[in-house]
Structure 1
Amino acid sequence: MSPTAPAEPPVRGGRGRTVRAAGLVVALAVLVLVMLVSVWVGSKSIPFGSIWSVLWHDDGTSVDAVIIHDQRIPRTLLGALVGAALGLAGAVMQALTRNPLADPGILGVNNGAAAAVVSAIAFFGVTGVLGYVWFAFLGSAIASLVVYVLGTAGRAGATPDRLVMSGAALTAVLQAYLSAILLLEPNTFNQFRFWNVGSLSGRRADVLVQISPFVAVGIVLALLLARPLNVLALGEQTGRALGARPGRTRVLGAIAVTLLCGASTAAIGPITFIGLAVPQIVRALVGPDQRWVLPYSMVLSPVLLIGSDVVGRILNPPEELQVGIVTAFLGAPVFVALCRRRKLARL
C-alpha cells in the first residue's frame, strides 16, 4: 500500500483522537477491574483482603493460595486472552467481508475445530483439553484454508460474497460429519459435549501456555492490518487505485483469524456472540476506523467473556453455568436491542 494513500475513512460523530484514546484507557481499567473480580469470586468464598494478601505476600502453600494461583488466576488470564482473540478475530472478519454480521465461524473455524476434536476422540482415543488443543487448531486451520481456496477459485478471485458462500458450504458439510460421528459413537458424544459447550472451568495454566504464541502472532498480525483494512473498505477498485493489495490483505487477514479464533476455540470450545456483536458495538461508539475498532474490540471482548464467566459462577453456587451458555443469554438480547434501536454500524 502506498505510504501516501488516504487510508483512513472519516470518523463519524467528530470524536477526536484524545477522546477515543481516553475511552480506550477507561476500557482497560474496566478490564482490570473485571479480572480482579474474577479472581475474587468463586464457589469458595474468600474475603477480598485475603485475596490481596495471597497475591502479594502469601508463600503459596495455603488452601486459599492454591485455589487462587492454580485455578482462578489461570482461568482469568485465559479468559482475557481468549476474549481478546475472539473480539479481534470478529472485527477482522467483518472488515474483510464488509459484512457487519459476519462472525469468525464464517470461515468454518469453529466447525473445523469441532470436527477435528470429534475425530481425535473417536479414532485416536484422545482425552482431555491438552490433547484437544492441537487437533482443534489443526482442524480450524485446514477449514480456513479450504474456504479461502474455494473462495478464490475462478477468474473473479476472492470477493466477500464468495468467501461467505464457501464458508457456509463447508460449515454444512462439517456439521453433517459431526452429526454422523456423534450418532454412531455415543462414547465420543459424552466426551465431546463437555468441550463443545464452551467453558473456562478446569483449564490449567498449561493450556494458556500452549495457545499464547499463536494468539500473540495473530494479535500482532491483525493490528498491523488496520490501515489496509481501512483501504479495503473503500472498495476493490478504489483500494487498488490507492496502492492497496486486496488479495494480500485477505490472505493475511484469514491467517490472523485462523490463529486467533482457532487457538481460542481449541482451548475452551466454541464461544458464540462475542466475535459477532462486540465489534459492531465498538463501531457504533468510535466509528469505522479500524485503527480504533481493532484495539477497542480486543479490550472490550474479554470484559464480556470474563464477566459472563463470573455471572455463571454466582447464579447457582456451588455449581457453575458454562461461559458459552452465559454469553449467549447475556449477549444476544443486547445485540437484538442494538439492531432494533439503530442501523448497524457501517463498515
Structure 2
Amino acid sequence: MKVLFSNSWSKSLGLLVALLLVIASILSSIVFGVLDTTWQTAIDAYTNFSGTNEEIVIRDVRVPRALIAAVVGASLGLSGVLMQVLTRNPLADPGIFGINAGASFAVVAAVNLFSISSLTAFTWIAFAGAALSGVVVYVLGSLGRNGLTPVSITLAGAAITALCSSFTNGLMLLNERALEEVLFWLAGSVSGRSLEMLWTVLPYALIGWVGAVILARPLQTLQLGEDVAKGLGQKTWLVKIATGVVIILLAGSAVAVAGPIAFVGLVIPHLVRPLVGNDLRWTMLFSAALGAILLLTADIGARFIAEPKEMPLGVMTALIGTPFFVYVARKGISRK
C-alpha cells in the first residue's frame, strides 16, 4: 500500500500539521456559532472580562464544548483503531462491543427507575453502563474451547447491542417523560456539557490514550497471526484483555460525556492508513489527532446546517459515516 508519509521525518511533520489543525479547530469552535463573536471577544473573555453575553457564552459554553469535542474525538478515533485490529473487522466501531448500547440502556433505566435528570449524573451512569457491557462482551467472547477470537467477540458484541437496544426501546415506550429527557443525549451531542463533566472522565481517557500507545507494539506483533505472536513469546490473551480494557476506557469515557456518537471510530482508521501505513504507533497518534479534528469540524457544522436550530452531533457524524460505511462494506465484499 502506497502511503503519503513514508518515513519517520515526514510522519513527524505530518503529525505536527495535524496537531496544529486540532488547535485551529478548537479555536474555530470557540469563535464560530449562531451567536456572532470575534477573535477579540474570545481573548477579552479571559483577559478583560466585562460580563457581556458574548463573553459568557465563550467561557461557559463554547470553550467546554470545544475541549470536550476534542477529547471525545481523540478517544473515539483511538478506540476505532483498537477495535478494528483486535476484531480484524474493518467495520468495527464502539457500537460493535455493545458499549454505546450499554451506556444508553443504563441512562434510560436510571431515568425510569430513579428519576435522574442531571447531565453530570448521566456521565457516571453511562460510563458504568458502557464498562459493564464491555466486560460482559469480553466474558461471553472468551467462552468456548478457542477462547477469545475475533469472531466470538464480534458476535458477543452484536448480541449485547441487540439486547440492550431492545430493553432501551421498551423502557422509552413505557415512559414518554424519560424519552423527552434522554432523547438529545441518545442522539449524541457535546452541547450543554460543562467542564466538570470533562474533568470527571478525563483521567480515564488519558489512561486510555497512554494504554493505546503502549499496546501499539504488541498489537503489531499480534497482527502477524496468533501462532506467530505466541512463537515470539507473546502472551496473546493478556494483550487481548489489556486492549479490551483500554477500549472500554476510551469509548466508555467518550459515550459518558457526549452520548453514543457513531461512525468516528469506523471512519478515522481508514483515513489514517493511507497516510502512515500499517505502523500502529503512528496510526494511534494520527487517529487521535484526526478524530479530534473530525468531531470538532462536525460540531461546528451542526450549529449552522439547520440554523437557527442545532442538529445533534450524532446526526452529523452519521451523515459523514453512513456513506463511508457503505463504501468500506462494498469494498470488502468486492475483494471476496
Structure 1 contact 11–289 (Cα < 8 Å) conserved: no
Identity %, equivalent residues: 38
1:253 aligns with 2:226: no
Structure 2 contact 201–257 (Cα < 8 Å) conserved: yes
Any idea what SS the aligned residue of 1:114 has? helix
Structure 1 contact 60–69 (Cα < 8 Å) conserved: no
TM-score, normalised by the number of residues in structure 1: 0.91
The aligned amino acid for 1:225 is L
1:177 aligns with 2:145: no
Partner of 1:134: 124
Deviation at 1:11, TM superposition (A): 8.7
Partner of 2:62: 72
Deviation at 1:317, TM superposition (A): 2.9
Partner Cα distance (1:189, 1:53) in 2: 40
**Cα distance, 1:321–1:26 mapped onto 2, change above 3 Å:** same
Structure 2 counterpart of 1:49, from 40, 52, 61: 40
Deviation at 1:60, TM superposition (A): 5.8
Partner of 1:84: 74
The aligned amino acid for 2:10 is V
The aligned amino acid for 1:40 is V
Any idea what SS the aligned residue of 1:225 has? helix
Deviation at 1:128, TM superposition (A): 2.3
Q: Which runs of 5 or more structure 2 residues have no equivalent in the other structure?
A: none
Deviation at 1:244, TM superposition (A): 1.4
The aligned amino acid for 1:43 is V
Partner Cα distance (1:60, 1:29) in 2: 30
The aligned amino acid for 2:33 is G
**Cα distance, 1:261–1:19 mapped onto 2, change above 3 Å:** same
Partner of 2:97: 107
Partner Cα distance (2:295, 2:76) in 1: 10
Partner Cα distance (2:12, 2:329) in 1: 26
Instruction: Output aligned runs, 1:292-311, within 5 Å.
Output: 292-311=282-301
The aligned amino acid for 1:44 is L
Deviation at 1:50, TM superposition (A): 2.6
Structure 2 counterpart of 1:227, from 217, 225, 228: 217
Partner of 1:36: 27
Partner Cα distance (1:50, 1:175) in 2: 44
Q: Which runs of 5 or more structure 1 residues have no equivalent in the other structure?
A: 1-9
- Between the two proteins, the alignment pairs up a number of residues equal to 334
Partner of 1:6: none
Structure 1 contact 11–286 (Cα < 8 Å) conserved: no
Partner Cα distance (2:305, 2:123) in 1: 29
Partner Cα distance (1:14, 1:39) in 2: 31
Structure 2 contact 184–312 (Cα < 8 Å) conserved: no
Structure 1 contact 11–288 (Cα < 8 Å) conserved: no
Deviations 1:285-341 (A, max 9, x none): 21111111111100001101010110111223332111111111133335555777x
Deviation at 1:23, TM superposition (A): 0.8
Partner of 1:7: none
1:156 aligns with 2:146: yes
Deviation at 1:185, TM superposition (A): 1.6
Deviation at 1:214, TM superposition (A): 1.1
Partner Cα distance (1:336, 1:151) in 2: 27
Partner Cα distance (1:60, 1:214) in 2: 36
1:285 aligns with 2:275: yes
The aligned amino acid for 1:293 is T
Deviations 1:93-123 (A, max 9, x none): 1111121111122111000101100110000
